[in-house]
Amino acid sequence: MKSPTPESPVTAGGRKKIVSTAKGSLTMMAMAILLITSIFSLRGLPSEAKYGVQSIFFFIFAAVVFLVPFSLVCAELASTYTKSGGLYRWVAEAFGPKWGWTAMYLEWQTIIFWFPTVLMFGAASLAYIAWPESFDESLASNKWYTLVVAMLLYWAATFNAFRGQKSANLLSTYGGLVGTIIPGALLIILGVLYVALGKHSSLADLPFFPDFSHFNTLVLAASIFLFFAGMESQAVHINDMSNPARQFPRSVFVACIVIVALYALGTLVIGIVVPADNINLLQSLLVAYKALWSAFGVGWLGNVVALLVMFGVAGQISALVTGPSTGLMAVAQSGYLPRSLQKVNANGVNKPILFIEGAFVSLLSLVLIVLPTVESAYQIMSQMATIIYLIMVVMIYLAFIRLRRTAPNRQRGFKVPGGKAGMIIVCGVGILGALLAMVLSFIPPSQIATGSPVIYVSIIAGGVAVFVALPLVVYKLRRPSWRNPDAHFYPFDWQIERRKPWEVSKWGYGYTPTEEEVEAAETDAINNHALHKHM
């Protein structure tokens, strides 16, 4: 999961306009590059390397049933509802603020589940920096070492974030370059040289198409959907394109080809140098670097790359400690969290929410103690993050369908191609793909030891149920006093039109409300607590 950019709807707050570039400043290729850099990550490559050449099929499949349709849907919503709020506005425009708040919360909760996985990966990277590989493997597999390092990494990033976003952004920027781009390029280049020189290949001899009759062998592939996450926060940039209807589909097409190619090549390189039976979800990327450099007589450079990857992990954590919580607070100021949780320090950082976030992450990390291995704990956190994220994705699809019906005349800067048939195909494929990945995520994978299936499934099912219910409980307990009087959130269309969210808009095509209409709707929302009335 990647950090939202400063211009993303996740970090937009109140009535203040999103900082953006001028119309036409973003070209087709620039948008494609933005999508590529915001989605591609090294951390998930080992889980797909177990599939060998079949991983290519899974990457293509996930791109077709998730990345492409979800990109198109988010692009239409972002180009239609351009005021602040992002996915909160999209879902609330369709179903009311209760479900908009829930969607925003689920995105934040996805990051919470994502944190333990990247922290475990960071601990494994640290273990591979200096010691002999046999000791590295033993240390990276130690539960208590992983738990201690994970907590140190997370809380160090949190206390650094208290100093302000500028400090966190600096680390995340350099971390992205040094810890993802450079190691990613090295992995592919070394892999190509390794094969060109005729070195031994450990790639599993499997057919291109998987055996769909054995669901437990397909579970790891479901995590690809989470690798492709982040489109909902990048789609806002579509408004900076001169001709979105023509340029954006091409950008998505180019980005999908490059992303699939990068993931496939990186995955195959790991499969070539690490036998399928020896692949570990946390360590095999680092083992692959060591093996590749050793093949050229400079194995010590594997330790250097491990240090770079570790720095990249620190950058990712730094970026995501504050980003999602900022978006959550921008929405919460409309009355979804107590005022005591909305306070910021002198650097503009919301410390109460970061402490709550840290408590969640620390509690979830204790799953290391319950499960048999670090690898199984990593897997279960990944699957829980995938399920919660996909629930949010389905909500966005349903909001898209509803808004096509209730706001047919709303001016759209970009529209999913194909008219009504295009909408049905895109949403049908996207929703079915998301539901399939959710079902798979509840099944213990056959490739790794997860202990008792009952405990594994119970942790996932119980965790998902609790964390999906939390925003609904908070919404039920909300009080008018929770609303920040200094926060001015641009009203929803249905508030301005004085209708219910599910009623069809009477506005004509391209209608723009006057300032008087907007101010009247905002006044009603404040005086009558309209944001809290529509359940």
CA distances from 276 to 212, 284, 385, 482 (A): 19, 10, 25, 53
Q: Region of 335 please: left (phi>0), alpha (psi -120 to 50) or beta.
A: left
Report whether pLDDT(94) > 90: yes
Report whether pLDDT(529) > 70: no
The CA-based angle 249-412-417, given to 5 degrees, is: 35
Mean pLDDT over 432-459 rounds to 84
Q: What pLDDT score does 135 carry?
A: 82
- Provide the b/e sequence for 455-474 (b: ≥16 CB within 10 Å): ebeebbeebbeebbeebeeb
Report whether pLDDT(416) > 80: yes
**Which residue, 252, 216, 215, is CA-closest to 237?**
252
- Number of other residues whose CB lies within 10 A of the CB of residue 25: 12
Report whether pLDDT(244) > 80: no
Rounded (10°) CA dihedral 501, 503, 507, 509? 90
One-letter amino acid of 326:
T
Report whether pLDDT(11) > 80: no
Q: Please, which pLDDT band fits residue 215 given cuts at 50, 70 and 90?
A: low
Q: What pLDDT score does 7 carry?
A: 34
Question: What are 123-139's pLDDT values in tens digits?
Answer: 888 888 877 778 888 88
Report whether pLDDT(92) > 90: yes
Tokens 């390397």: give the residue. 49
**Which residue, 408, 243, 233, is CA-closest to 326?**
233
Mean pLDDT over 238-252 rounds to 78
Q: Please, which pLDDT band fits residue 20 given cuts at 50, 70 and 90?
A: very low
Q: Please, which pLDDT band fits residue 22 given cuts at 50, 70 and 90?
A: low
Question: What are 138-170's pLDDT values in tens digits?
Answer: 888 888 898 999 999 899 888 888 877 666 666
By the 8 A CB rule, do 485 and 77 touch? Answer: no
What percent of the chain is modeled with pLDDT above 70? 87
Tally the residues of the chain.
535
Who wins on pLDDT, 240 or 475? 475
What are the φ and ψ backbone dihedral angles of 25, each rounded to 5 degrees? -80, -15
Q: What pLDDT score does 181 carry?
A: 80
Report whether pLDDT(427) > 90: yes
Q: What pLDDT score does 8 carry?
A: 35
Q: What pLDDT score does 32 carry?
A: 82
Q: What pLDDT score does 4 carry?
A: 39
Alpha carbon distance 251, 254 (integer Å): 5
Structure tokens at 498: 């004085």
Over the chain, what is the mean pLDDT? 81
Mean pLDDT over 364-378 rounds to 81
Q: How far apart are the first and last CA of the chain?
A: 31
Question: What are 316-356's pLDDT values in tens digits?
Answer: 787 777 766 777 777 887 788 888 888 878 877 788 888 98
Mean pLDDT over 103-115 rounds to 88
Q: Please, which pLDDT band fits residue 281 given cuts at 50, 70 and 90?
A: confident
Mean pLDDT over 265-288 rounds to 87
Q: What pLDDT score does 234 carry?
A: 65
pTM of the entire structure?
Answer: 0.83
DSSP structural state of residue 39: H
Q: Please, which pLDDT band fits residue 389 given cuts at 50, 70 and 90?
A: very high
Q: Please, which pLDDT band fits residue 479 given cuts at 50, 70 and 90?
A: confident
Alpha carbon distance 224, 385 (integer Å): 12
Q: Please, which pLDDT band fits residue 397 given cuts at 50, 70 and 90?
A: very high
Alpha carbon distance 461, 465 (integer Å): 6
